[in-house]
Amino acid sequence: MISHDVLKRTPVRLAAAFASLFALTVVALVGVLYITLVSELDNSIRQHVEEITDTLTAIDRQQGFKDLTAVVAEEADSVRDFDSIFLLRADDGSFQAGNVGNVALFEGWGELDRAWLPMVASKGNPDDRFFAKWTRVSKGHLLVGGSDREIREVRRILLHGLGWGLLTTMLLAIGSAVYLARRAQQKIAVFATTLSKVSKGQISERVPVTESHDDLDHVATQINATLAHLQKLIENVNQASSDIAHDLKKPIGRLRRRLELALRSEDTKAFRSQVEESLGELDSIVETFEALLRITQLEAGARRSRFGPIDLGNVLADVADIYEPVVEEAGGRLGNHVGLEQNCTVTGDRELLTQLFVNLIENAVRHSPPGTQIDVSMKQQDDKLIAVVADDGLGIPADERENVFRRLYRLERERSTSGSGLGLSLVAAIAELHGAAVTLNDNHPGLRVEVSFPRS
């Protein structure tokens, strides 16, 4: 007994559909073959009757009714052929020659059963039918007919072949379908096992991909990519929680001390000063949380609906023009080397891309000494567009370049400077949303940031 749960499985249903399709295909092919052969044989029998009739009527025209009677009698008495019938009648209805009798005249083609024809009923197969036709001759009427024995033989052979062919095809189809279904079920079971482990917290589990590269392997690759992204998001959340607990502990502690001092202060001016500093500290904390929230939203794929064709060179050049006086005011220099004549179209969000370049330039200004030269440029490499922000400042040690993309992470030497440690984290989140890659390299001296975008 097949359980209802087994019948619900997709591979089993696919196997059943596969076998049914094979069976229907065989039946359809045999049916078409049968109809074609029967039609050809039917036409062949009728054509043979027509040829015999033409030969006999020619004898009647050329040699006369008497000779026709002799030929018909000779053909009727022949024991060589039980598949033909002949009957020659005179105008008065009297029997002249033939191997059948008592057949009434009819127009066109008729079908006569052998069992109804006493003179030939015992000859051949009693199930035979004759395709017969009456023809007018000089002194009477001539009936000639041919048996459908060949048609019935073809039917018997085809039905016999259909039975064995259908049985063989069904066995092969069921065997192939079961094999394919088992393979599919095994892969689906692997999917289910992997996802079950992930649901229980084993987020590093992945679906194995075989070398067949079939559609299930394609699905496995997509699942693995989704799990990898999910793992990254979870790790980012865990890291952010840890960083928030570590990095915001100090500003919240400072805020509490300032408020305690304000409560104990009897001087109105000092009280106001402490409150203003506390508000500034609160603004900084709120800004940090807003930046964290924005990064989380970007990593979740938010704002992709606002994507459209963007001239990346134009965005970078505009940011450079706006920030040139800001950099000069901070004691540095900003060089704009973006060639606007080249085609730099990408698909993205202009506001986010502007934020990305602003963060890179602000990061270079904030963490470089006065007199630092900052250069922005754009280059093309194969099917990619690479935006470059380079400076000749202090740079970032090679062993710290991966860490600086972590949320709230700051180099030890930068602990005393302003900032939340989220600038490069936001850059990385915006780049990933646009399918771009961010790399940090040594500028000899300084830092060279390259953001590689795929072309539209």
C-alpha span between 389 and 377 (Å, rounded): 7
C-alpha span between 334 and 391 (Å, rounded): 9
Written as six digits, the tokens of 262 are: 């304000």
What integer best gives the mean pLDDT of the chain? 81
pLDDT value of position 47 = 93
Dihedral sign for Cα atoms in the order 14, 15, 21, 24: negative
Tell me: the pLDDT tens digits for 257-283? 777 777 777 777 777 777 777 777 777
143 pLDDT band, cuts 50/70/90, is very high
pLDDT value of position 389 = 93
C-alpha span between 408 and 394 (Å, rounded): 20
Q: Which residues of the chain does CATH 3.30.450 include?
A: 10-153
> Exposed, middle or buried, 384 (CB in 10 Å: 0-12/13-18/19+)?
middle
Question: CB atoms < 10 A from the CB of 305, how many?
Answer: 7
C-alpha span between 349 and 24 (Å, rounded): 54
C-alpha span between 99 and 117 (Å, rounded): 9
Evaluate if residue 412 carries a pLDDT over 60: no
Spacing of C-alpha 227 from chain mean position? 20
What are the residues whose beta carbons fall under 8 Å from the beta carbon of 258, sequence distance 6 or more? 274, 277, 278, 281
C-alpha span between 27 and 23 (Å, rounded): 6
Of 39-48, 273-282, 349-358, the least confident: 273-282
Radius of gyration, alpha carbons of the chain: 48
CB 18 within 8 A of CB 169: no
**DSSP-based three-state secondary structure for 109:** strand
Evaluate if residue 1 carries a pLDDT over 50: no
C-alpha span between 274 and 253 (Å, rounded): 14
Q: CATH fold of 10-153, please? A: Beta-Lactamase (3.30.450)
Tell me: the pLDDT tens digits for 312-352? 889 999 999 998 998 898 888 998 888 766 778 888 888 88
C-alpha dihedral (97, 99, 105, 110), degrees to nearest 10: -150
pLDDT value of position 200 = 81
Phi and psi for 184 in degrees, rounded to 5?
Answer: -65, -40
Within 274-372, strands assigned E span 308-311, 333-337, 345-348
Give 69 or 184, the one with higher predicted confidence.
69
Written as six digits, the tokens of 235 are: 């790790």
Half-sphere exposure of 383 (CA within 13 A, CB side): 3
C-alpha span between 370 and 330 (Å, rounded): 7
Written as six digits, the tokens of 114 are: 């052998």
Evaluate if residue 7 carries a pLDDT over 60: no
Written as six digits, the tokens of 196 are: 């079950």
Q: Which residues of the chain does CATH 3.30.565.10 include?
A: 305-454
C-alpha span between 265 and 261 (Å, rounded): 6
CATH number of 305-454: 3.30.565.10
Angle among Cα 50, 53, 59 to the nearest 5 degrees reads: 145
Tell me: the pLDDT tens digits for 217-232? 788 888 888 888 788 7
Lookup result for tokens 């540095």: 332
Lookup result for tokens 């379908």: 177
